A and B are shown apart, each in its own frame.
Chain A
C-alpha cells in the first residue's frame, strides 16, 4: 500500500491495453450499419464558389449521400462558435465571422470543406469526391499578418474590415512610457514565433450515430473535453437537447490542444447521421490533419525592455500581431490575449508592462491553443529579450535574471499584468539548474569546441506559466463563455472497490494512475480496486476537460473534495458501528477508529454497511458516493529554469543539442515518473519548434507547403538528446493537493532556452525559429561575408 500513494512512481494502470494493442481509439470503433464520410476540400486558399455539381458523384457505386453547404444551410445549422469574446481597445467585441461547417459561397483556406460524400466504404466515398465538379473563381489570398494588415490587402471576410479580428491592449501604458523615459538602457528585439502543427499521432476521428426510437444521438470522437463539445453542439451549432446527446471520447491518442475544439467534421458526422439514420464515421488522414487541425503560435512581435544602469528591469512593452487563420476557432481569441499578455512579467519584478495585440485573419488554417497556448509565446518574448539585454549590458545572463527575480518572501506577488503569483523559489531553481548544467565550466567546453572548429553556446530560460485557469467568475469577466471548474464523483461498490469519475480527460497524461493514487492514498483502497472513468458524458458528471495543465490542480482538487465527503459520511457509519459519538471517530488511511481505544473499522466494511444497511444510523441515507465540483481560487504558477547547450558545425550549420537541464517547480508531485515524462515530451516539442518544425504557406498561392511528414519536420529519436530533469517542490498554497501542473512546461521553456543557446553560439540575435541547418548556415555565411568585407 505505502508504495502506491501520493509521491510514488507507480507504473501506469492504463499501459497494459496500450502495449498489447487493445486500446480503443475512435477509429477502432465500428458501429453496425456504419457509413463513411469523406470531405471534398478546397484546393484554393481563397475562392468564390460559383457552382457545385454533385450529380455524377451521387451515381457512383456505394454512395449514399452527397451534401454541400446549401444542404446544411437548409437545415438551419448554426456556424461554429468562438467561446471567448475579447473586447478591443474601444470595448467592442472581436469580429467572429460566420464559420459554416461546409462552405457555402467562399472557401478561405486550402482544405476548407466544400462537400461531403457519405458512402458504404471510405474508398468509394473517396472515389465519389473525385467526381464532384466545383467551379471556383480564384481570388488572391493573403497568408501572413504583415501583408494582411496592409491597406488594399485581400479581405478574408467582408465583415472584418482590414482583416482585423481585434486590436487589444493590456497593462498600464502611461507608467510604461514613464519607465522608458527614465531608462538608462533600452533593449529592442524583433521575434517571429513560428506557426506549428500540433500533430498528435492519432488523427482526429468521429462517429455520429442516431437512434430514432429514443431520439438519442451518440458521438464518438477524439476530444479533450467531451462535455464542452456536447454543450457547443447542442446549444449553439445543431440545436439539440443536451439530454439527448452523448459524447464519448474513448482512448485519445494525444491532443496538445488540437482536440479541444469543435470542428466542422464531427459536426457534419452528427448532422448527417441524424439525416440518414445510419452511423457516419470520418477519420482524418495526415494531410487533412495538417490542413484542418488548428495550428499553434504564429506571432510577429516587437518588444522593448527598459533597464536601469544596474540591469534592473523598469518596463516592458510588447506589440504583437497574431495570425488567427481563416476563421476564429473555439478558443482562439483568448490565446494571444489573456493567455499571453498576463504572463509577460515572467519571473521578474518588472514594475510596468504594456502590450498591444492585433489579431488578424488570413487565408490559412485556423490557429488556436497548442501546448502552452500563449504562455510559450510570452516566455519566448521575455526570455529572449532578457538574454539580449544581458548581452548588451555585458552582465551574465544568469546574474541579470537573479537581480530581477520575484524574491521568495514576496509571495503572494501581484504583477502589473493582473496575475497574483502563488508561490515560487526562482533563484533556487536557477542555482540547481546551473549546478546540473555545470554552467561554471562552460567556457572550457566552448574552448574545446572551438579547437574542433565548432561553435558552442549556452542558453537559459526562466519560465513561468499559469495553469488551472480560474476562478470562473474572473475568466467570465474577461470574456470566457464557460466556467473553468472541474467535477469529480467517487462511487463505492458494496465490495469496497471504487469508481472515480472525473470531468477531465486523459489522452496520454496518465490520469487513470495519478487519480487512482490520490484516491488510494486518501481512502486506503488498493490501486487495483480503483477504476478511474472519464470521457463519456453519459457516465461522468458535467466536466470541463483537459487543457492548460489543469487536470490535477482542478480535477484532482475536486477528487480530494469528494474523498472528504466520503470520509465524513464514513465517520457517521463508523460511529454507529462502534457505538461511539461521531466526534470521537478518527480517520487515517482507510481506517476509522474511536479515539483513545483500539476499536476500528476499515473502509471496506463501511462501504458494505452503506449498501447493506441492516445495522445503520436511522437518520442517514444508505449508499457511499460523493460528488464534488471545484472552482479554484486562483491560477497556479509553475515555474522553472531550463538550460540548453548546443554545438554548431559552422561548415554545415548542423546544430547538436549537447546538454539539456530542466529544473521545474510543479508544487507537490503525485507521480514523479509521469511528471518527468510530461517534461520530456514538452521539451521535445519545444526543441521541435526551435530547430525543426514550421508550417510554411506559399505567399502567392496560399498553398500549404508542409502538409505531410515528408515536408514538416517532426522531431525524431535521433534529433533529440536525453534530458536531465530535476525538481524543486514549492507547494501551491491554494489547492488541497498543493499541486501546480506540469503538462506544458517543457514546451514553454524549451524554445527560448534553445534559441538563447544558438544565438549565444552565433553571436547574433538575428535568426528565427526554426533554426534549421540551412538557416544557421545562412547566418554563418552572412557573418563570414561581413568579416571578409571589413
Chain B
C-alpha cells in the first residue's frame, strides 16, 4: 500500500507515492534524491538530518513524510539563494567548522534556525542550542565560532 504525499521542497512542489511508514528523511533522500540531508543515527540524537519545516528546524528522521503533507521544507540544498551562499554556509567555510562534512548540513540548518531566534547568541547559548547536533571531527570549537560569526552576518 502506498499513499500520495505532496510537500513543497526548496520552493518546488513535489508529489510522490510512498509507503505510509516512509520518514521525511527517506522521502528527501530516496524519492527526491536530495542526499545532502544525512542519516547518522536511528534514535534522533545526531541531528545530521535537520531540515526546516515551515521555517523551523526539525530532525527529518523523527517525522513521517505524511506528517509533512502540505508543508514547506527547506533542505541544505535550498539554503543558498541565486547562486549565493547563505551567510551561515560562508561562516562555516571561513572558520573551518567542518572536516568530514557529514554532520555539516544538519549543523548549518540548526545554526540558521538558532540565529533566527537568537540574533546575537553567546558562546554558552550556541553550545547549549547545538546539543542536538553531534560532530565527531571538530571538537565543536570552530563550529561555535562559525555559528556566532554566521549569526552576526545574518544580522547584517
Contact = CB atoms under 8 A, between A and B. Distances in A.
Instruction: Decide if A and B are genuine partners.
Output: yes
Interface string B125-139: 011101101111111
Contacts of A287: 42
Interface in A1-30: 11-12, 14-25, 27-28, 30
B37 A21 contact: yes
A709 B75 contact: no
B85 interface: yes
Contact of A25 (B42, B102, B133): B102
B139 A720 contact: yes
B21 interface: yes
Interface in B96-120: 96, 98-105, 108
A643 B128 CA distance: 25
Contacts of A11: 93-94, 96
Contacts of B130: 716-718
B76 to A, nearest CB: 3
B131 A717 contact: yes
Nearest to B142: A677
Interface string A122-133: 010000000000
A20 B42 CA distance: 24
Given A286-B43, A709-B41, A20 B99 contact: no
A656 interface: no
A251 B101 contact: yes
Nearest to A683: B139
B63 interface: no
Contacts of B36: 20-23
B140 A717 contact: yes
Given A21-B34, A718-B128, A681 B42 contact: no
B75 A21 contact: yes
Given A15-B98, A21-B75, A717-B143, A254 B43 contact: no
A662 B65 CA distance: 46
A720 B127 CA distance: 9
A387 to B, nearest CB: 24
A684 interface: yes
A625 B75 CA distance: 42
A678 B136 CA distance: 11
A669 to B, nearest CB: 14
A616 to B, nearest CB: 43
A708 B45 contact: yes
Given A11-B94, A718-B127, A21 B76 contact: yes
Interface string A18-48: 1111111101101000000000000000000
B75 A723 contact: no
Contacts of A715: 139-140
A201 B45 contact: no
A345 B123 CA distance: 40
Contacts of B101: 14-15, 17-19, 23, 251, 253, 508
Nearest to A199: B136
B60 interface: no
B48 interface: yes
B99 A508 contact: yes
Given A20-B36, A202-B102, A510-B99, A720 B140 contact: yes
A253 B102 contact: yes
Contacts of A709: 41, 43, 45-46, 134
Contacts of B85: 19-20
A22 B137 contact: no
A680 B100 contact: no
A714 B48 CA distance: 14
B77 A20 contact: yes
Question: Max chain A CB contacts within 10 Å: which of B29, B136, B138?
Answer: B136
A529 interface: no
Contacts of A673: 96
B71 to A, nearest CB: 19
Contacts of B135: 201, 717
Nearest to B105: A21
B8 interface: no
Given A201-B102, A508-B99, A19 B43 contact: no
Interface in A496-533: 507-510
A714 B135 CA distance: 9
A726 B29 CA distance: 42
Contacts of A680: 138-142
A718 B131 contact: yes
Contact of B45 (A24, A123, A681, A710): A710
A417 B140 CA distance: 37
Contacts of B128: 717-718
A508 B75 CA distance: 22
Contacts of B29: 28
Contacts of A685: 136, 139
B27 interface: no
A256 interface: yes
B77 A12 contact: no
B60 to A, nearest CB: 13
B40 A286 contact: yes
B35 A12 contact: no
B139 A681 contact: yes
A568 interface: no
Interface in A668-703: 673-674, 676-678, 680-685
A200 interface: yes
B144 to A, nearest CB: 7
A722 B76 CA distance: 27
Contact of B134 (A24, A510, A681, A716): A716
B41 A717 contact: no
A252 interface: yes
B57 interface: no
Contact of B100 (A30, A253, A285, A708): A253
Nearest to B91: A19
Given A14-B101, A716-B131, A201 B136 contact: yes
A676 B130 CA distance: 21
Contacts of B134: 201, 709, 714, 716
A260 to B, nearest CB: 15
Contacts of A632: none
A203 interface: yes
A717 B42 CA distance: 20
Contacts of A27: 35, 39
A287 B92 CA distance: 30
Nearest to A723: B141
A715 B140 CA distance: 9
Given A27-B35, A685-B139, 13 more contacts: A15-B98, A21-B76, A27-B39, A199-B136, A203-B39, A254-B136, A256-B136, A508-B99, A508-B101, A681-B139, A682-B139, A717-B130, A717-B143
13 contacts: A21-B35, A201-B136, A253-B103, A286-B41, A508-B99, A677-B142, A683-B139, A684-B139, A709-B134, A714-B134, A716-B130, A716-B131, A717-B140
Interface of A: 11-12, 14-25, 27-28, 30, 123, 199-203, 251-254, 256, 285-287, 507-510, 673-674, 676-678, 680-685, 708-710, 714-718, 720, 722-723, 746
| A-B residue pairs, 7 tightest by C-beta | A21-B36, A253-B102, A18-B101, A684-B139, A508-B100, A21-B76, A709-B45
Interface of B: 19, 21, 29, 33-43, 45-46, 48, 75-77, 79-80, 85, 89, 92-94, 96, 98-105, 108, 123-124, 126-128, 130-131, 133-144
